[in-house]
Every structure is written in structure tokens, then in C-alpha cells.
Structure 1
């Protein structure tokens, strides 16, 4: 009887083994893993100047002893786009003279004319100086995005305290720098 029980147990064990093997072979097996989807958005800004000249205007020479009135040029629009949420500062640097305060010097076009009228770049027509020292005399803002509808317009003005100079066309170039 003992032998019958051992054979029966062995037979059941063997049948069970076949059943497990057969079941595993017919069931789908899934191997899994994962991957990441990533997008890196870098900070970026672009600046576009709407026109090429701030025209302080044609002024008749004035008597040096007369009280000088301030001449204010038409505003120049500087359009800034920065990626969404990107803080920026716009600085202006006159080229004819080294200045961090927006005080510039214009030179005449006529050879031999040594007059150099000064002008001041301003954040408004009434006068906050606009230079290039970040967080001191620059215009700051936060980007809304890079689309055309998200452009931030900033207007710069130029003023000259006098027109008591040799008749000529006086110019200077101003660099627009966006720090972000």
C-alpha cells in the first residue's frame, strides 16, 4: 500500500508539473519598462526696434544767453519678447561716449565741425534717465512668451538741453541690450 501511495503522489506531482508548464506556455507574458518624455525650454529673449531714428527735431540755433528749452524727440518703441516668466532688463548704451547713465554725445556730419551736442535717453517724456546699469537705470519686466501678441513695448525718449550749435546733422548710435 505504501508503494501505491508513493506512485500516486509521484504521478500527481508530475501531472501538476506538466499542468504548470503547460499553463505558463499558453498564457501571454508581458515584459515592462518605462521611458521619459522631456522638453527643455531655455530662457530666450529677442528685441526689435520699431524705427531707426529718434528725431529730436530741426531746431534753429539759439542765443547762448537765452534760456534753453529742452528739446524732446519722438519716442522710439523697443519691442521685447522673452520666454514666459523670464525676467529681463533692457539697457541703453550711447556709442560716441562711454556712458552708463544714458547721457550721449552726438557728432556732426560736416568735416571739421567739432561741436558735440549732448542728449539724455529717458524712460518717459518727462525724464527718468535710461542707462545700462541692471536694476538701477534700466527698464525691467517679465516675459509673456515669444508670440507676436505677447510683445512688451517699451518707449525711449531723447532730450537735448540746447540747440546752440553749428548748423549740421548730429547723430549717435545707441545699443539696446537685453539681460535675462
Structure 2
């Protein structure tokens, strides 16, 4: 009996679905919306910097030592104009001149100057005069640092060091 009742109910529902009129869509309403994203300019010093290494010198050398093996990379948003400044932390000056010391308390140091290229264009931290300019391309851009020391005459045998801050202005 339950099966007969179920069959009758199913037949009734099927019959109703055939006889109910379906309304055709006769009009369309439309509108629009905006989609956006704001890309802001950004720059970063990326990767690992390499040491500007003047190598080994004798303390009787009277001429300057040169190096061109220091470097770092910058990544800026595509089209972003930027300037890179270098500032030795051993001095308050923005002229690219620093002082390497083995022991800051003993007063011995070796002065050095940072350069942007082999033509000795000074690389300092004054955004109006001695920084290196570039345009971001969205990729990592490598920058080589050149340098020269003053004379190493009569300084104590030791490893002399300094730290250089890398500043990107954009």
C-alpha cells in the first residue's frame, strides 16, 4: 500500500511540473562596477652585500690601495626613479669618505673614499650631489662599489674595517 501511495504522489508531482507555465525572460537590466588596485612605489636593498676588500698591504706602502669588488643589489617598482647613497658609519660626513680601524680606541685608522665607477666619481650620501641614480625595472639591479685608501704607511699590522650604510631614496 505504501508503494502505491508513493507512486501516486510522484505521478501527481510530475504532472504538475509539466502544466506549470515557465515565464520567459523578456528584459535585461545591467550595470557596471569598477575594479582597481593601487601599486605604490617601493624600493629595497636585496640579497647579500659583498665586502669592498682592499686585500693585503704592507705597512710601508706609500700609495693608495684600490678595490672594485664591493657591491649590493636594489629592487624597485618598475618605473620608479631612485637614488642610492653610501655613508660610512665611521664619519658624520656625506662625502663618501670613511675611516677603517682595527681598534677604535687606539686612534689608528686608514681613510678610504667610495666611488661609483672606475673614473672615481665620488659616491656619498648627499642626494643633491654625489649619489647614484637609477630607474627601477621590477627586477634586482646590481651595483658595484669602487674604493681607494689613503696611504697605509706606518700603521700597525691588523685587519681594518668599517661599515657602510646603503640608503635608497625614491
TM bucket, shorter chain: 0.7 to 0.9
1:14-29 correspondence runs (5 A) = 28-29=26-27
Task: Measure, in 1, the Cα distance between the counterparts of 2:25 and 2:57.
Answer: 93
Aligned equivalents of 2:118 and 2:110: distance in 1?
19
**Residue in 2 aligned with 1:171?**
161
Higher helix share: 1
Deviations 1:23-71 (A, max 9, x none): xx966333322210101111011213644421112111117xxxx3220
Normalised by the size of structure 1, how large is the TM-score? 0.74
Does the aligned pair in 2 maintain the 1:92–1:175 contact within 8 Å?
yes
The structure with more radius of gyration: 1
1:89 maps to 2:83: yes
Query: Does structure 2 retain, via aligned residues, the 8 Å contact 1:72–1:125?
Result: no
Following TM superposition, the consecutive aligned residue runs of length 4 or more in structure 1 with deviations greater than 2 angstroms are 25-33, 48-52
The match for 1:153 is: 142
Two-structure CA RMSD over aligned residues (Å): 2.0
Does residue 98 (structure 1) correspond to residue 92 (structure 2)? The answer is: yes
Count, aligned residues: 147
Structure 1 gap ranges (5+): 1-24
Distance in 2, Cα, partners of 1:125 & 1:50: 22
Measure how far apart 1:124 and its partner are: 1.5
| Secondary structure, counterpart of 2:157 in structure 1 | coil
- The alignment status of 1:53 with 2:51, answered yes or no, reads yes
* Farther off after superposition, 150-159 or 38-47: 150-159
More strand by share: 2
